[in-house]
Amino acid sequence: MYSESTEEMDNEGSFEPEIQLKLSLGLKPEDADEILELATNCQCLTQDKMSMLEQSVWEEAYNDDEPYSVFIKARAVNGDEEPLAGFACYGGIPGEEGCFELYLLAVDEEFREIGIGSAVIDEVSRQVAAAGGDTIFCEVSENRNHDAARNFFESLGYVRQTRHYRFFIPEKGNAVYARKIS
């Protein structure tokens, strides 16, 4: 488990903790519905993508074997309450040593713009590096409705790829971004 505070500047120019964030790896059966609800509320997922996410959630939550995908959950700690603020799902790209794909990043609308997405992506990067990875790929829609998502990933050092990779072909209307990690 990893804990982090997001901070916000007050009117006097000093920083005050805004929210205590608890990051954790993996899913338990009791997390499944909450993850799927957040994904439904936050994302413009196609029916196929939602079905794939649902399959990954159930496999991770109920399977004791090595998971195909890894989930990192972000919970906002507020006394005894710890609502799900966001999550990421990622995994290795089969046959491509050191390459991982970020399948999905979702942050609850109530918790956006305060650093939760960045904290979750930082944790994904730490976990990928610990697993021997050196590159994280993600796919983002080129639709104007996703300008904020593209800007977000670019602000974190993801670079739009101008060439196609045989192991990572985007869906029509999407762009591939990649980030080298150390």
The model's pLDDT over 105-114, given as tens digits with 9 standing for 90+, comes to: 999 999 988 9
Please identify, in words, the CATH class of the domain defined by 2-180: alpha beta
Residues 6+ apart with CB under 8 A from 91: 67, 68, 69, 70, 100, 101, 103
Mean pLDDT value of segment 27-55: 87
Mean pLDDT value of segment 23-34: 94
Question: Domain residue spans in the chain?
Answer: 2-180
For residue 136, the SS3 value is strand
Work out the mean pLDDT of the chain and round it to a whole number.
86
Residues 6+ apart with CB under 8 A from 102: 88, 89, 90, 121, 124, 136, 137, 138
Whole-model pTM?
A: 0.84
